Amino acid sequence: MTQTIAFIGLGNMGGGMAANLLKNGYAVRAFDLSEDALAKAESHGAVRAASAADAAAGADAIVTMLPAGTHVEAVYTGQVFGAAKPGALLLDCSTIDVATARRVAEAAQAAGFTMVDAPVSGGIAAANGGTLTFMVGGSDAGFAAAKPILSAMGKAVIHAGGPGNGQAAKICNNMLLGSTMVATCETFAMAQKLGLDPQTFYDISSVSSGQSWSMTSYCPVPGVGPQTPADNGYQGGFAVGLMLKDLKLATQAAASVSASVPMGNAAEALYQMLANRGEAQRDFGLMIEMLS
Ligand code: NAD
As a whole number of angstroms, the distance between CA 39 and CA 192 comes to: 49
Say if ligand 1 is within 6 A of residue 130 CB.
Answer: no
**What's the whole-model pTM score?**
0.95
| Average pLDDT of the chain to the nearest whole number | 97
Instruction: Tell which atom from ligand 1 comes closest to the C-alpha of 121.
Output: 43
Q: Report pLDDT for 58.
A: 87
Q: Report pLDDT for 1.
A: 77
168-291 CATH pick, 1.10.1040.10, 1.10.3720.10, 2.60.40.420, 2.40.50.140: 1.10.1040.10
**170, 193, 245, 248: which is the annotated catalytic residue?**
170
Say if ligand 1 is within 6 A of residue 75 CB.
Answer: yes
**Segment 251-257 mean pLDDT:** 97
* 137-192 confidence digits (pLDDT tens): 999 999 999 999 999 999 999 999 999 999 999 999 999 999 999 999 999 999 99
DSSP state at residue 284: G
As a whole number of angstroms, the distance between CA 149 and CA 236 comes to: 27
Q: What top-level class would CATH report for the domain 4-162?
A: alpha beta
* 77-134 confidence digits (pLDDT tens): 999 999 999 999 999 999 999 999 999 999 999 999 999 999 999 989 899 999 999 9
Q: What is the DSSP string of 158-223?
A: EEEESTTHHHHHHHHHHHHHHHHHHHHHHHHHHHHHTT--HHHHHHHHTTSTT--HHHHTS-SSTT
Q: Is 170 a catalytic residue?
A: yes
Identical fold, 4-162 and 168-291: no
CA-proximal residue: ligand 1, atom 39 (nearest): 123
Does the pLDDT value for residue 228 go beyond 90? yes
Q: Is the dihedral of CA 147, 150, 154, 160 positive or negative?
A: negative
Residues forming a β-bridge with 117: 92, 137
Distance from the CA of 208 to the center of ligand 1, in angstroms? 38
* 42-70 confidence digits (pLDDT tens): 999 999 999 999 999 989 999 999 999 99
Per-domain residue ranges for the chain?
4-162, 168-291
Please state, in angstroms and as integers, the Cα–Cα distance from residue 136 to each residue in 69, 97, 161, 187, 219, following that order: 16, 14, 7, 34, 29
Does the pLDDT value for residue 256 go beyond 90? yes
ipTM, interface predicted TM-score of the complex: 0.99
For the chain, helix, strand, coil in percent to 5 are: 55, 15, 30
pLDDT band at 211 (very low <50, low <70, confident <90, very high): very high
